[in-house]
Amino acid sequence: MTDDHQPVMVEEVLHFLSPRPGGVYVDATVGAGGHAETILRATGGRCTLVGIDRDPEALSRARYNLRSFGAAVRLAQADFVDIKWVLSSYDIERVDGILLDLGISSMQVDSAQRGFSFRRTGPLDMRMDPAQNLSAAEVVNAYPEAELARILRVYGEERYASRIAAAIVDARRRAPIRTTTELTQLIESSYPHGPRRGHPARRTFQAIRIEVNKELDVLDKALRAAPDLLAADGRIVVLSYQSLEDRIVKRVFASFEGRGRALPGLGAPPATGTLSVLTPNAVLPSQPEVERNPRASAARLRAAVRRPV
C-alpha cells in the first residue's frame, strides 16, 4: 500500500471493478496511487493502468509509489472529464474499468498551503490544478453577494448562506480576505449561538471548492461520456463523499437504464440502455473501516457495467 494515502473501500472497489490480467483500467482521480496500486496488485501487475489527476503534486507521488510496476502504469495530468483525450494519446479506444474517487485527498486537506482546510491557516486557494486562474480568493473577494449566497446555498446546502455572504461582502469592503482562518472566523461569527452539528465552516468551504474546480459540471460530463469508453462488460465505479455528488451519480446511472433524469442545468441525459446498474443502493464502508479511517465515513460507492452490444 502507498505510504501517504489510505484508499477508501478497497475491497468493495475491487469487487465491483473486477480487474483481471490483460485488462485496461483508468483511475481517473489517481491521487497518490492508493487505489491504482490495489488494482495493479490484483492483476499481478499484468494490466494497463492509466492514472489521471489535475494535481501535479499528486501525480508526482503516484509516479513514485507505483514505480515498481514499470510500463504497466501511464500517468497524465488532466481533468477526469478529458479521459477520452488521455486515452487517445495512448492509442486506447476502450477500457475494461473506470474508477472515480471524488472530492479532495488527504494530502490536499493536510497541506495548509493548498487552502482546502478550515482547520489550518493558509492562503485562500483550493485549486486542484495550481495552474488554473480561478482560486478561492477570487470567489470570496470578487463575486457579487447574491452569487456568493447562491453558491453557498446550492453547493454547500448551507442554511445561513445569505447571512454568511453578507458578512463576507461587508468584511472585504474594509480589506481583502486573504486566509482560510479569516474566512473561517467570518463564517463562525455569522452562525447563531447554540448547539451545532459539525463545524460551521465545513459547508461553505465545500461550496467554494466546488465552484473553484467546477466539480459538479465536470462530474456530470464525465459520467455521460463513460459508456462510449467502456468495452463490453466494462465497469465504472464511483466513490462520492457528499450528497450533491452522490445524487448526480445516482440520477445519471438511472438514466443509463432509461430511468430517472439528469439534474437540471447539467446537460441532456445520456443515451439509455447502455449500462446496467450494479448497486441499487449506494454501498457504504464497513464499520471496522470507519473506525480505522474516519475519513471513510462519508463515502458512498455506486457501480455500473456496460451491456454487451
What is residue 235's predicted lDDT score, i.e. its pLDDT? 97
Across residues 128-156, what is the average pLDDT?
A: 96
Residue-wise pLDDT for 213-238, tens only, equals 999 999 999 999 898 999 999 999 99
Nearest alpha-carbon partner for 49 in 83, 74, 86, 14: 74
Across residues 233-262, what is the average pLDDT?
A: 88
For β-strands 95-101 and 24-27, DSSP reports them as parallel
- Which carries the bigger pLDDT value, residue 113 or residue 125? 125
Quick one: what percent of the chain has pLDDT higher than 90? 81
What is residue 194's predicted lDDT score, i.e. its pLDDT? 66
Q: What angle do CA 151, 153, 156 make, to 5 degrees?
A: 80
Exposure pattern of 204-235 as b/e (b: 16+ CB <10 Å)? bbbbbbbbbbebbebbbbbbbbbbebbbeebb
Take residue 110 and report the three cell numbers written for it.
Answer: 493536510
Biggest CA pair distance of the chain? 62
Q: Which helix (H) or strand (E) covers residue 276, if one does?
A: strand 275-277
Res 260 pLDDT > 60: no
Q: How far apart are CA 131 and CA 290, in angstroms?
A: 34
Query: Could you tell me the pTM of the whole model?
Result: 0.90
Residue-wise pLDDT for 57-92, tens only, equals 999 999 999 999 999 999 999 998 999 999 999 999
